Amino acid sequence: MKIAITGANGFIGKSLLNYLSGRYELYALSRRNKFESKSVNYINYDINKNNENLENILKDISVIIHTAARVHVKNDIGKDNFDKYELLNYESTIKIATMAKKLGVKKFIFLSTVAVYGEKSTEEFRFKVGDEENPLTSYSITKLSAERKLFELSKNTNLDVICLRIPLVYGPGAKGNIKTLIDLCKIGIPLPFGSVKNKRSYLYIGNLESFIDRCISFPFPINRTLNVSDNYDLSLSKLVSLVKKILNKNNFNFRVSPNILRVILFLVGKSNINSKLLDNFRVDISDSMNLLNWDPPYDILHGLNKTLND
């Protein structure tokens, strides 16, 4: 089976290539850095620019895993910057899916985001697929638009569209907020998160790989949106405690009211991460588990150990 992975030089793309290597014929689409691998067919391709070769590239491909995306960029606001998100997250996605439909590709697996539901939930509530969406950022707005158009494209065809709504993904080589938090824990200084008892969903890269593999091999059309997570939610204070324990660092996590932390983050120009640090955000993956007869194979301790030690 031939599988094409877009965004193959990113954190998720690279991990998927390693995970699937040896079992499938892989085609890695990326606009930078050639892969040093005999088991991967590297294709230098910028999906924002190259149009003429797309049909040849996707010919005979059975599954496309679309990980390429414009993610959160600092100070990325305003119409011009929204257009950048729309170009990659929506227009380029639909361009590839349209070609996939034309060529008879069997599955199109699209990595979306749980942020289509909004930025927070209550402590007791978990978002299920079908709940009202409330995207608030350029990233989540364009991801939701792409989801809707993909299902519209797939009507009355054999193209099996699977949109995966995922939370923060962690694992070896992860960047962004999780890397910042780990770096702070490595320094060993006391952190002011002892009173942050929120509940948030996370996703270890190994669990995401396992779920995507299950989608690839699933014998029936799926054609739906699915939430994916570790199926275990934890607070910021618990996450910091686990990371420090694995690192053998002093676990002094002093208590500062979350409301005071919000004010501090605002004063230092970091109010944009208030919600991601302090609010609840939980997703329900029971439908995904039941539909595909799948359970996350790795727990949070395994995932964090791999993240910190590999």
Kindly report, residue by residue over 205-223, the tens digit of the pLDDT: 999 999 999 999 999 999 9
Q: Which of 126-130, 174-178, 184-188 has the highest mean pLDDT?
A: 126-130
The DSSP secondary-structure symbol of 272 reads: G
How far is 11 from 173, CA to CA, in rounded Å?
7
In a domain, residue 61? The reply is yes
Residues 6 or more apart whose CB falls under 8 angstroms from that of 140 comprise 113, 115, 116
In a domain, residue 249? The reply is no
Q: What is the pLDDT of residues 42-66, one digit of tens each?
A: 887 777 665 667 888 888 999 999 9
Question: Which of the two residues, 74 and 131, has the higher pLDDT score?
Answer: 131
* The pair of three-digit structure tokens given for residue 46, joined into one six-digit string: 């910028």
In a domain, residue 178? The reply is no
The β-bridge relationship of strands 25-30 and 40-44 is parallel
Contact by Cβ (8 Å): 203, 169: yes
In a domain, residue 109? The reply is yes
Q: Which of 51-55, 122-126, 136-140 has the highest mean pLDDT?
A: 136-140
| Residue 110 confidence (pLDDT) | 98
- Mean of all residue pLDDT scores within the chain: 89
| Residue 71 confidence (pLDDT) | 82
In a domain, residue 42? The reply is yes
In a domain, residue 98? The reply is yes
| Residue 187 confidence (pLDDT) | 86
At residue 146's C-alpha, the angle toward residues 142 and 151, to 5°, is: 155
Number of domains present in the structure of the chain: 1
| Residue 250 confidence (pLDDT) | 80
Which helix H or strand E contains 168, and what residues bound it?
A: strand 168-170
Q: What is the CATH number of the domain that holds 58?
A: 3.40.50.720
In a domain, residue 31? The reply is yes
Contact by Cβ (8 Å): 150, 93: yes
Q: What is the pLDDT of residues 72-117, one digit of tens each?
A: 665 555 555 888 899 999 999 999 999 999 999 999 999 999 999 9
Question: Which of the two residues, 9 and 109, has the higher pLDDT score?
Answer: 109
Domain interval for residue 227 = 2-171+202-231+283-298
In a domain, residue 266? The reply is no
